[in-house]
């Protein structure tokens, strides 16, 4: 059986990442600067095209500038602006977004990138600062982004990772966050030198409220987008620390565990007695998701983290703290879960410490939205409607159903773990619920017909061809039917009454209808979007239905363009490509 995928589907990746961060769609970014840099040269700071007209304090802009110190500007910079000030201030710089204005650097494996995605009138421009550090450079600060939204002119700043949560500086103690107008006479300040301003996973949106002010929402829902310099092997997803939990008390021997990271080639474990990881014990764990360290000193506070690495980049997770004891108490492990409305999620309630007696999980509070169910062999059991409620599954699994409203923490609930040593303190499972996915157009391509690729898995569009309009060299052409592309459920094919030769000027419009993603989000309308790419199909000549127990096999594929093909694994923990095309399963 032959499997087919669209060539241009390699231009983005939908990545179901870890529970502790929102699911991310990974896009191919345009590189502004990479590698260790204390400043971005003024000649390299812009201008860069936004991709649409964006209104900022009543003025319209179609380009922006950046500097290494966390500023996105609409006026050409004449300096590096290493010293932050409060907002507003008439002295230069003016006309900027301060996502995290401090004296920063790009780390050795960091970069600044941008990309505009989607289609009019709902495009968004992403400016991403990846793996930044403080200057002078003792250690990483983290990763953050600025997102500009077309039509609404909303600005969102969000923080994918703040590496050292124990440093006031990392949370904004010496930073400015906010917006300032073109002459510095007005602005919207979120924080100035505030040591609790931002945390990992925070998203802050600024919505225009007249020409001179913005309304701040410091509990905005994180927009799951990430830019990479290599879509064949994107930066690893961020790993999540599992055990020991934050501020847990462990024994002097402990098995450190973490979650798998997409695209990781190796993991490094760091354990130290200082929060900046100075003098850390560093272990190359390969692709293992755990490592045991014996002989830790009792009654000592330790700090630990894990990095996921590959040839493209490195992703850290937030440093966590624990302490040791000769007889550690039982402790429930908190988690953060990201999901969409109407989804069900299996959640395991975990613990550290305690004795060797059996562990029991008890739900102590119910979510404000959605519902909890007992776990019954992979499906919903009885609904949990009152607390305290003992979890019946032997390994403490439950199911959360996002059947209520969306929002940050909409489905949060609490639990404890009990054993013969007693009850643990309560821990919170924070559940952030996103609306069902609204699909965004990524690319349009043409061969004999036209194709549209989205950033979401698409529902069957059959029978909805009348909702699209296609013009070929200015003349309307009938769309006879729609279908999902074989092997690529992200792409819809518009079959035309007249075959294209490939040289025509093709425009596509969509009138609001019921074309939707599989999760229910409706496609928003757009008008006269040009089709500039040529589609090609990559055909695998062997079955791709494989089991872990099978022997390695050779990938064989051909492209209709005649170009050669290369292969990469999106999850090396499951399968790796050796040589140019040998696929090896690692097993479980």
Give pLDDT tens digits for 334-352: 888 888 888 899 999 988 8
540 and 526 together in one domain: no
Residue 568: per-residue pLDDT: 65
pLDDT-above-90 percentage for the chain: 64
* Those residues with Cβ within 8 angstroms of residue 551's Cβ, 6 or more apart along the chain or in another chain: none
Q: Is the dihedral of CA 186, 187, 191, 192 positive or negative?
A: negative
497 and 568 assigned to the same domain: no
Using only C-alpha atoms, the chain has a radius of gyration, in whole angstroms, of 25
Three-state DSSP state, 391:
coil
Tell me what the mean pLDDT of segment 238-263 comes to: 88
Q: Mind listing the pLDDT tens digit for each residue in 162-173?
A: 999 999 999 999
pLDDT value of position 543: 73
| pLDDT tens per residue across span 342-399 | 889 999 998 888 888 899 999 999 999 999 999 999 899 999 999 999 999 999 999 9
Distance CA 507, CA 531 (A): 6
Contact between residue 290 and residue 320 where contact means Cβ atoms under 8 Å apart: no
CA-to-CA dists, residue 82 to 38, 192, 221, 580, angstroms: 10, 15, 30, 46
pLDDT for 320-335, tens place per residue? Answer: 999 999 888 888 988 8
pLDDT of amino acid 410: 93
> Could you tell me which residues come within 8 angstroms of residue 41 by beta carbon, excluding any fewer than 6 positions away?
none
Query: Does residue 2 lie within any of the structural domains?
Result: no
89 domain residue, yes or no: yes
Token reading at 234: 């994107």
* pLDDT score recorded for residue 342: 84
Domain at 379, CATH number: 2.60.40
pLDDT at 7 over 60: no
| 526 & 541 share domain | no
Residue where a domain stops, chosen among 500, 515, 535: 535
Same domain, yes or no: 468 and 575: no
- Answer whether 571's CB lies under 8 Å from 260's CB: yes
In this predicted structure, the answer to whether residue 1 has a pLDDT above a threshold of 80 is: no
Identify any residues that bridge with 338 across adjacent strands, giving them in sequence order: 432
Asked if residue 7 belongs to a domain, the reply is no
Q: Which domain holds residue 400?
A: 332-429
Q: What is the 3-state secondary structure (H, E, C) of 247-285?
A: CEEECCCEEEEECCCCCCCEEEEEEECCCCCCCCEEEEE
Task: Give the pLDDT score at 523.
Answer: 87
Question: Which domain-ending residue is among 228, 253, 280?
Answer: 228
Which residues have CB under 8 Å from 394's CB, separation 6+? Answer: none
The domain boundary, picked from 269, 290, 324, lies at 324
147 shares its domain with 214: yes
**Is residue 584 a part of any domain in this protein?**
yes
Phi and psi at residue 169, in whole multiples of 5°?
Answer: -60, -40
Q: What is the pLDDT of residue 20?
A: 52
pLDDT of residue 588: 39
Flag whether pLDDT at 535 surpasses 80. Answer: no
- Residue 79 and residue 27 share a domain: yes
User: At 489, which CATH number?
Assistant: 2.60.40.2180
Same-domain pairing of 210 and 153: yes
Q: CB-based contacts of 462: which residues, under 8 Å, 6+ apart?
A: 481, 482, 483
- Rounded to whole angstroms, the Cα distance separating 84 from 178 reads 11
Residue 6 within a domain: no
Query: Are 246 and 320 found together in one domain?
Result: yes
User: Which tens digit of pLDDT belongs to each residue from 510-531?
Assistant: 987 889 998 888 888 887 888 8
On whether both 541 and 505 belong to a single domain, the answer is no
Distance between CA atoms of 359 and 248, rounded to whole angstroms?
A: 16
User: 171 in helix, strand or coil?
Assistant: helix
Within a domain: residue 236?
Answer: no
Place of tokens 């093709």: 506
584 shares a domain with 503: no
Is 545 a domain residue?
A: yes
pLDDT band (50, 70, 90) for residue 563: low
Shared domain for 255 and 292, answered yes or no, is yes
Q: How many domains does the chain have?
A: 5
Query: Domain for residue 411, yes or no?
Result: yes
What's the mean per-residue pLDDT of the chain?
Answer: 88
Provide mean pLDDT across the span 227-251. Answer: 88
Strands 248-250 and 320-324: parallel
Do 497 and 369 share a structural domain? Answer: no
* Dihedral over Cα of 344, 24, 11, 526: its sign: positive
């Amino acid at each position: 059986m032959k499997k087919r995928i669209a060539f241009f589907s390699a231009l983005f990746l939908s990545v179901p990442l870890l529970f502790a961060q929102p699911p991310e769609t990974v896009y191919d970014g345009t590189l502004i600067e990479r590698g260790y840099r204390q400043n971005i040269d003024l000649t390299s700071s812009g201008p860069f095209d936004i991709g649409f007209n964006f209104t900022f304090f009543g003025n319209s802009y179609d380009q922006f500038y950046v500097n290494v110190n966390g500023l996105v500007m609409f006026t050409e910079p004449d300096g590096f602006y290493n010293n932050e000030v409060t907002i507003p201030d008439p002295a230069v710089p003016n006309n900027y977004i301060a996502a995290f204005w401090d004296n920063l650097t790009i780390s050795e494996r960091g970069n600044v990138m941008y990309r505009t995605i989607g289609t009019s009138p709902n495009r968004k421009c992403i400016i991403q600062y990846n793996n930044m550090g403080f200057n002078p450079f003792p250690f990483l600060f983290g990763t953050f982004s600025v997102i500009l939204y077309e039509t609404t002119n909303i600005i969102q700043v969000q923080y994918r990772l703040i590496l050292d949560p124990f440093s006031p500086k990392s949370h904004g103690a010496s930073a400015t966050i906010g917006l300032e107008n073109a002459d510095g006479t007005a602005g919207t300040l979120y924080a100035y030198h505030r040591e609790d301003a931002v945390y990992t996973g925070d998203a802050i949106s600024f919505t225009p409220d007249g020409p001179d002010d913005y309304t701040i929402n410091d509990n905005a829902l994180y927009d799951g987008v990430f830019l990479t310099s290599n879509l064949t092997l994107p930066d690893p997803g961020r790993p999540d620390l599992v055990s020991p939990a934050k501020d847990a008390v462990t024994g002097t021997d402990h098995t450190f565990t973490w979650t798998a990271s997409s695209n990781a080639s190796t993991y490094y474990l760091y354990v130290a007695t200082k929060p900046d990881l100075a003098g850390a014990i560093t272990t190359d764990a390969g692709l293992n998701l755990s490592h045991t360290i014996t002989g830790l000193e009792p009654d000592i506070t330790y700090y630990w983290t894990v990095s996921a690495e590959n040839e493209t980049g490195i992703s850290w997770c937030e440093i966590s703290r624990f302490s040791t004891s000769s007889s550690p108490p039982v402790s429930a492990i908190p988690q953060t879960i990201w999901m969409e409305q109407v989804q069900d999620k299996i959640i395991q309630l975990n613990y550290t410490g305690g004795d060797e007696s059996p562990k029991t999980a008890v739900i102590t509070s119910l979510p404000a939205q959605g519902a909890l169910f007992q776990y019954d062999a992979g499906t919903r059991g009885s609904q949990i409607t009152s607390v305290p409620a003992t979890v019946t599954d032997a390994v403490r699994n439950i199911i959360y159903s996002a059947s209520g409203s969306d929002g940050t923490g909409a489905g949060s609930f609490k639990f404890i773990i009990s054993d013969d040593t007693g009850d643990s303190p309560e821990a919170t499972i924070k559940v952030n619920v996103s609306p069902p996915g609204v699909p965004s157009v990524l690319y349009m391509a043409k061969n004999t017909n036209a194709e549209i690729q989205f950033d979401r898995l698409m529902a069957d569009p059959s029978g909805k061809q009348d909702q699209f309009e296609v013009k070929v060299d200015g003349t309307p052409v009938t769309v006879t039917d729609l279908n999902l592309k074989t092997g690529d459920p992200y792409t819809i094919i518009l079959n035309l009454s007249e075959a294209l030769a490939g040289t025509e000027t093709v425009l596509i419009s969509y009138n609001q209808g019921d074309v939707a993603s599989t999760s229910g989000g409706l496609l928003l309308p757009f008008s006269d979007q040009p089709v500039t790419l040529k589609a090609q199909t990559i055909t695998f000549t062997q079955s791709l239905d494989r089991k872990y127990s099978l022997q390695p096999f050779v990938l064989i594929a051909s492209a209709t363009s005649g170009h050669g093909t290369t292969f990469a694994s999106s999850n090396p923990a499951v399968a790796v490509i050796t040589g140019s095309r040998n696929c090896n399963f690692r097993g479980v």
